[in-house]
Amino acid sequence: MKKYLVFFIAAFISAAAYSQNVPGNQQSEPPKHAESKLNLGFGIGLDYGGIGGRLAFSPDKHIDIFGGAGYNFLGAGFNAGLAYKFLPESFICPYISAMYGYNGVIKVTNAAEYNQTYYGPSFSIGGQFWSHRMPGFFNLELVIPVRSSEMHDDYNKLKNLGASMSALLPVAFSVGFHFLF
């Protein structure tokens, strides 16, 4: 797992550094996206509340404060957090983030009494891939949820009772597109 995480981080940083040195990308002033303070994205993942939206405010070019809300296949999912952008003026911007909110759901068909949404911290690494044609970016993220012992206990209890359960993965992914305001 650690080697994949290191590879993921190294790939984003390398791509961002390369994008700043590609002929034709040399600009006398920063790209317009560097001036934006607010963006709204729609996507899928923990930071979007499941399937939903994410609003981010940038008080500084390196910092995003964000909140997300959406449908997590059981009900409403919410998250809020902080992201640090390493190369905010690049067309490929790697970042790390920390958030608190929904980070797991157990949904049992025909046994709604076992359905539950779980909350806790999550950490991520990701990248903003800026469009050259429109004021916006694609967001791709690898999320590491810190799931509660309660969720693990409930998951194991249901599995031992014979419930058909999908694997409880240690990571999640997030993808979306953001528009600037």
pLDDT of the residue at 17 = 52
pLDDT of the residue at 98 = 98
- The neighbour count for residue 88, using CB atoms within 10 Å, is 20
Beta strands in the chain (DSSP E): 38-45, 50-60, 63-71, 76-85, 92-106, 116-130, 136-145, 172-180
Task: Give CA–CA dist 77/163, Å, rounded.
Answer: 24
Tokens (6 digits) for 71: 């449908």
Distance of alpha carbon 113 from the chain centroid = 29
Residue with tokens 């950490």: 123
* Span 139-143, average pLDDT: 97
DSSP one-letter code for 35: G
Given a contact cutoff of 8 angstroms between Cβ atoms, the answer to whether 85 and 104 are in contact is: no
The b-or-e profile of 18-47 (16+ CB within 10 A means b, else e) is ebeeeeeeeeeeebebeebeebebebbbbb
Going along the chain from its start, the domains and CATH numbers come out as 2-21+32-180 (2.40.160)
pLDDT band at 28 (very low <50, low <70, confident <90, very high): very low
Q: What is the pTM of this model?
A: 0.81
Minimal CA–CA distance to 12: which of 123, 122, 86? 86
The answer, yes or no, to whether residue 10 has pLDDT greater than 60, is no
- Cα–Cα distances in angstroms (integers) from residue 161 to residues 110, 114, 140, 150, in the given order: 14, 12, 37, 16
The answer, yes or no, to whether residue 74 has pLDDT greater than 80, is yes
